[in-house]
């Protein structure tokens, strides 16, 4: 900062001198152009919009070639960003084009945080560039810039204005990237409906304070065309890579039963205006705005988090080493403080755990003693019942033996009584014979 002020003071004191002849440094712009052309350029486009709104087709239409892209599904669980890089060449100018698509955007039931993966991706690219910039051995001249230079936000033509998701996402993106809103598949609505939709969209963006990219009007060469195009937001676009026959010529368009939509006809859509403004007239301004505005904001916030800050004009200049050491000491103190806090928290946690374990041990011991007493009582009760049962069994056995003895005697008595009866019976029947014998003897 101080050096810039000194340089400004010196420039005020210097006089403008005229040369007496041709020196040659007027060829410096040509040298710079030749070096840049030989090196090539990078341009990165982020396409944000719902699945099936025509993002891939529009990219192919803008650059006049078909880009291979994986077809996205409507059933993505979360928003995923897919990046593809292509090497293009037009005449002698080489362009490394990177197109980033948002797969699954707006397809979830809960879209509250759909914008977060997009912001994370943009910040990640800024982080990569900052890491390369802060390296001791860096090669920014040959480094392929990964930062997003423009975001084409695709708005659905269905409806009468913006959705809540569109407003929230564009509000989050406005400070991160050059934001250009476009209406995708604009051929599905009538001209009057399209005109009303454009007006409603711009009114809502203005009401909610969403800042979109404005084409620069400082340069006199492009001030007029950029001023007129700034009134055309959002661009109503139609993409197509198919050739249709219109009269005796073939053009890019879409054929319908009622007629054909020519994508490069300004009466049908704004594709030509978008291509002119995006690629032919303002591509370098988009790259410059990305570096000087959005990246500088990210870089300043990051360096302030790291402890670096600019000094006031009246204060002394700071040393980078001193700032680093001060930040390092501050981080060490914070680390020690956190370590001590964690140690104390660990000790307290251990004490609490020990107290809980002791309490539980005491409860378990009391429970054990209680169960022991119950076991002893139950054992005593069972012993008493066993003794009673044994006494009952002994008494039963005695009664059984007595009953068996009585039964044996009864059975024996029953068995002897029939024998006596048989003997008496035999004696009875033998008496007549004896009597007859006696009578015979007497008669003789």
At 147, which CATH number?
3.40.50.300
The Cα angle at residue 250 between residues 249 and 255, in degrees rounded to 5:
120
- In this structure, the answer to whether residues 138 and 37 fall within a common structural domain is yes
- In this structure, the answer to whether residues 182 and 69 fall within a common structural domain is yes
Query: Is residue 400 situated within a structural domain?
Result: no
> What pLDDT score was predicted for residue 142?
78
Q: State the CB neighbour count (10 A cutoff) for residue 28.
A: 9
Tell me the C-alpha to C-alpha distance, in Å, between residue 289 and each of 1, 21, 84, 148, 175.
21, 38, 23, 11, 11
> What pLDDT score was predicted for residue 58?
92
> What pLDDT score was predicted for residue 429?
53
How many domains in the chain? 2
- In this structure, the answer to whether residues 282 and 332 fall within a common structural domain is no
Residue 155 backbone phi and psi in degrees, to 5: -105, 135
Query: Is residue 417 situated within a structural domain?
Result: no
> What pLDDT score was predicted for residue 430?
55
Output helix, strand, coil percentages for the chain, rounded to the nearest 5. Answer: 55, 15, 30
- In this structure, the answer to whether residues 301 and 326 fall within a common structural domain is no
Q: Is the dihedral of CA 62, 68, 70, 71 positive or negative?
A: positive
- In this structure, the answer to whether residues 302 and 326 fall within a common structural domain is no
Alpha-carbon span 180 to 237, nearest angstrom: 12
- In this structure, the answer to whether residues 248 and 114 fall within a common structural domain is yes
* Structure tokens, 406: 């009585």
Query: Is residue 228 situated within a structural domain?
Result: yes
Alpha-carbon span 375 to 117, nearest angstrom: 65
Alpha-carbon span 397 to 410, nearest angstrom: 20
> What pLDDT score was predicted for residue 259?
85
> What pLDDT score was predicted for residue 305?
82
- In this structure, the answer to whether residues 232 and 325 fall within a common structural domain is no
Instruction: Say which DSSP state 94 is in.
Output: E
**What stretch of H or E contains 167?**
helix 164-173
> What pLDDT score was predicted for residue 370?
92
> What pLDDT score was predicted for residue 13?
59
Alpha-carbon span 101 to 98, nearest angstrom: 10
Alpha-carbon span 97 to 43, nearest angstrom: 5
- In this structure, the answer to whether residues 225 and 332 fall within a common structural domain is no
DSSP β-ladder status, 249-256 and 259-262:
antiparallel
- In this structure, the answer to whether residues 263 and 337 fall within a common structural domain is no
Query: Is residue 344 situated within a structural domain?
Result: yes
Query: What is the pTM for the complete model shown?
Result: 0.69
> What pLDDT score was predicted for residue 27?
85
Structural domain including 329 reads 321-387
Average pLDDT per block of 10 residues along the chain, 444 residues long: 44 66 82 86 94 91 84 80 92 92 86 91 94 84 89 91 92 94 92 92 94 91 89 91 87 87 90 92 94 93 78 59 77 90 92 92 92 91 91 90 87 70 57 48 44
């Amino acid at each position: 900062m101080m050096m810039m002020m000194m340089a400004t003071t010196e420039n005020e004191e210097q006089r403008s001198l005229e040369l007496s002849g041709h020196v040659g440094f007027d060829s410096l712009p040509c040298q710079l152009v030749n070096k840049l052309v030989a090196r090539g350029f990078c341009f990165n486009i982020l396409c944000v919009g719902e699945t099936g709104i025509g993002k891939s087709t529009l990219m192919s239409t803008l650059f006049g070639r078909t880009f291979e892209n994986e077809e996205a599904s409507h059933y993505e669980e979360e928003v995923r960003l897919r990046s593809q890089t292509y090497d293009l060449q037009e005449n002698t100018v080489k362009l490394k084009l990177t197109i980033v698509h948002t797969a699954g955007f707006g397809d979830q039931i809960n879209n509250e945080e759909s914008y977060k993966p997009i912001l994370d991706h943009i910040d990640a690219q800024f982080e990569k560039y900052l890491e390369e910039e802060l390296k001791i051995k860096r090669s920014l001249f040959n480094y392929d810039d990964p930062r997003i230079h423009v975001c084409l936000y695709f708005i659905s033509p269905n409806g009468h204005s913006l959705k809540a998701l569109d407003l929230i996402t564009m509000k989050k993106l406005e400070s991160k990237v050059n934001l250009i809103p476009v209406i995708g598949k604009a051929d599905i609505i009538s001209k009057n409906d399209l005109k009303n939709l454009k007006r409603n969209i711009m009114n809502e963006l203005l009401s909610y304070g969403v800042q979109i990219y404005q084409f620069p009007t400082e340069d006199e060469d492009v001030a007029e065309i950029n001023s007129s195009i700034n009134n055309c937001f959002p661009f109503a676009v139609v993409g197509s890579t198919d050739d249709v026959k219109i009269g005796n010529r073939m053009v890019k368009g879409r054929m319908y039963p009622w007629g054909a939509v020519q994508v490069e006809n300004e009466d049908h859509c704004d594709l030509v205006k978008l291509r002119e403004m995006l690629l032919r007239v303002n591509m370098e301004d988009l790259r410059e705005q990305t570096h000087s505005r959005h990246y500088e904001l990210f870089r300043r916030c990051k360096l302030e988090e790291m402890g670096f800050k600019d000094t006031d004009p009246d204060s002394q200049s700071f040393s980078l080493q001193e700032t680093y050491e001060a930040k390092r000491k501050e981080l060490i103190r914070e680390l020690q403080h956190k370590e001590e806090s964690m140690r104390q928290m660990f000790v307290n946690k251990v004490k609490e755990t020990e107290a809980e374990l002791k309490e539980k041990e005491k409860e378990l011991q009391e429970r054990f003693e209680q169960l022991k007493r119950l076991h002893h009582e139950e054992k005593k009760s069972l012993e008493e019942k066993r003794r009673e049962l044994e006494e009952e069994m002994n008494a039963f056995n005695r009664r059984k033996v007595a009953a068996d003895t009585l039964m044996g005697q009864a059975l024996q008595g029953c068995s002897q009584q029939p024998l006596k009866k048989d003997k008496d019976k035999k004696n009875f029947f033998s008496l007549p014979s004896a009597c007859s014998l006696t009578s015979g003897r007497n008669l003789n």
